[in-house]
Amino acid sequence: MVLCLVPHFLSLPRHPHSKHLDCRNYPHRTVVKPVCVFRPPILAATREEAAGLRVFVVSDLHTDYSENMTWVRGLSRERHRNDVLLVAGDVAETYNNFVLTMSLLKDTFEHVFYVPGNHDLWCRHDDHSCFDSLQKLEKLLDACQRIGVETKPVILDGLGIIPLISWYHESFDREMDVTGFHIPPLEMACKDFHACKWPDGLTNDENSLALYFDAMNDKNKGLVKEIKSVCSQIISFSHFLPRQELCPEKRMLFYPKLPKIIGSDFLESRIRSIHGTKGSVSACHVFGHTHFCWDALLDGIRYVQAPLAYPRERKRRMNGGEDWLPFCIYHAGTFAERLSPCYWCDYYAKNPRTPDFTQLAPWVARFYSRLP
Ligand SMILES: [Fe+2]
């Protein structure tokens, strides 16, 4: 993800289903102990013996961390030589790590697809051949073409695969803000505001970046139209979130302003233009960015996140370990069973969102001082 200042901003320190915890009300503050609750492993969704196209998904590889690069190196070529991998952004900050990672993945999988994440477009440590983040994007897409990584829509064995480029905008967040605490502004907490460089006319202040990135998908309109006419099963994927319901509510988050830098309404419109306003039993969208594993059906479309995330987050079993990754979402014409356990997603399957209740969760409140 993108945040600094407070360590483990995104890592939620306790199981949302704790019997001690009613996340909508916090009368039990003294009962909840500030310790990690053991999280059972998520089981890998694979059926090794049967033949047929297998599609795996993963996001947020962050291979600037050597542990994550080691994880990529450890993927089995033998097991995946006929498989497809969708990489939903945030591969690496540096160009060299990006190229190495995508080359390793292409050596492992028969087909690799990619959409850019925010970290991929940071210009902090790269040489000066990239003046801004758009030039870096172009360089990354050129590298993908050289390596053989797909960045455009394709049909594979009757399955449509559609990468969607996107960027976030602040107005994506429509839920009530948490007030009364010293919560750092986005410019202080989000490294994108310093590490990404944009040409004149593009800023994080309004919708300009989100619109600009969304418009990049227009060049694939013909391919998407063809896929829609031919394929009954389609997987689309992006780095950012298309719906706010795919992230916990602000009061649960270590950085309560997070929903302002995670998603795009334009992305959701594009997804609906592909899968239909009502979706279908075969409509699936994969995303990344927030580092929370997720698997939810919203208005007829299945939304899935399967993030590798940071080593420290895996150590704390934020998403039930790493043995289930990459997640096999599709095999021989059939979509995988719902990811389980899926922590915060499971919590919201049982509890309604109550965003008007803005009292910080106890594990969040201890990080912030009250305004006078
Ligand atoms: Fe990201």
Residues with CB under 5 A from ligand 1 (ion): 90, 117-118, 289
Q: How far is the CA of 291 from the centre of ligand 1 (A)?
A: 8
The three state secondary structure string of 309-354 is: CCHHHHHCCCCCCCCCCCEEEEECCEECCCCCCCHHHHHHHHCCCC
Which H/E stretch holds residue 156? Answer: strand 154-156
Per-residue pLDDT, 45: 60
How far is 292 from 313, CA to CA, in rounded Å? Answer: 10
Query: pLDDT of the chain along its 372 residues, tens only?
Result: 545 444 344 444 444 444 434 444 444 433 333 344 456 666 666 555 568 999 999 999 999 999 999 999 999 999 999 999 999 999 999 999 999 999 999 999 999 999 999 999 999 876 666 689 999 999 999 999 999 999 999 999 999 999 999 999 999 999 999 999 999 999 999 999 999 999 999 988 789 999 999 999 999 999 999 999 999 999 999 999 999 999 999 999 999 999 999 999 999 999 999 999 999 999 999 999 999 999 999 999 999 999 999 999 999 888 988 889 999 999 999 999 999 999 999 999 999 999 999 999 999 999 999 998
Which are the contacts of 124, defined by CB distance < 8 A and separation ≥ 6? 93, 195
Q: How far is the CA of 120 from the centre of ligand 1 (A)?
A: 8
Q: How far is the CA of 20 from the centre of ligand 1 (A)?
A: 32
Give the chain's domains with CATH numbers: 54-365 (3.60.21.10)
Q: How far is the CA of 371 from the centre of ligand 1 (A)?
A: 30
pTM: 0.90
359: its two tokens:
């009292």
Q: How far is the CA of 366 from the centre of ligand 1 (A)?
A: 26
If you compute the radius of gyration of the chain from its CA atoms, what whole number of angstroms results? 20
Which H/E stretch holds residue 163? Answer: strand 159-163
